[in-house]
Amino acid sequence: MQHIAIIMDGNRRWALNNKLQTVMMGHKKGAESVKKSIQWCLDNKVKYLSLYTFSLENMKRTEEEKSGIWSIMVDAIKEETDDLVREGVSIKFLGDQSLFPDLLCKKIEHVEKKTSEGQKLHVQAMFFYGGQQEIVHVVKSLADKVKEGKILSDDITLDTVKESLWTADIPDPEIVIRSGGFSRMSNFLTFQTAYSELFFLDVLWPDFNESHLNDCVKKFDMIQRNFGQ
């Protein structure tokens, strides 16, 4: 098992179900599940963990909620960076970087640089990310290279497409887990999950824990994967 990807869904519903004052309390609780998932991957020697942190569709949320999410992320980066370095964890934020909030850009650059030498676990925070938009980015990038004479159209292969993805150099996930009770991918790693095993869980993200990861991996281990052959 090299790579687990997670769609972290259910923070707002968890806050409402627990009659909390604001949905932001659900997002804060969800951050604890992120820590548990990172630690589980370290304990089980999983090399890559991709987390659907903020989708392009999430931009439609209220300014208040988005600002609250940025604040939680800033606090988490401040609090967790040293621990990530000590544990050998590297973190990268992958997505449409032109949309990253100014408030976060320096913080993101700082945590990426400080954790860059981590080799035990590589965490990808999919941020301002959309799988379809990533494919559009690839198409435009390769079209520009053809136009500039850097490559021929016949040079475009599966490998050249993969090399142009935001996730270049990261293996495709064997497992995708979605919390929250919905059975859809929501524009997550559209290209990379062609042969991933999908697990849709009824648990809301703040209630997600190590036992859910254990269950999914056990089920995965029982699957005979033939990749369409």
DSSP string across 64-103: HHHHHHHHHHHHHHHHHHHHHHHHTEEEEEES-GGGS-HH
How far apart are alpha carbons 122 and 129 in whole angstroms? 18
Asked if residue 131 lies in contact with residue 56, where contact means CB atoms within 8 angstroms, the answer is: no
- At 75 the three-state DSSP class reads helix
Q: Are 106 and 72 in contact (CB under 8 A)?
A: no
- Residues composing the chain: 229
- Which positions are catalytic? 9, 58
Instruction: Give a three-class secondary structure readout of 146-178.
Output: HHCCCCCHHHCCHHHHHHHCCCCCCCCCCEEEE
Q: Round to whole Å and give the CA distance between 50 and 183.
A: 18
If we measure between CA atoms, which residue out of 107, 106, 99, 25 comes closest to residue 73? 107
Q: Is the Cβ–Cβ distance between 125 and 92 less than 8 Å?
A: yes
Q: Are 74 and 103 in contact (CB under 8 A)?
A: yes
Question: What is the spatial distance between Cα 30 and Cα 41, in angstroms, rounded to a whole number?
Answer: 17
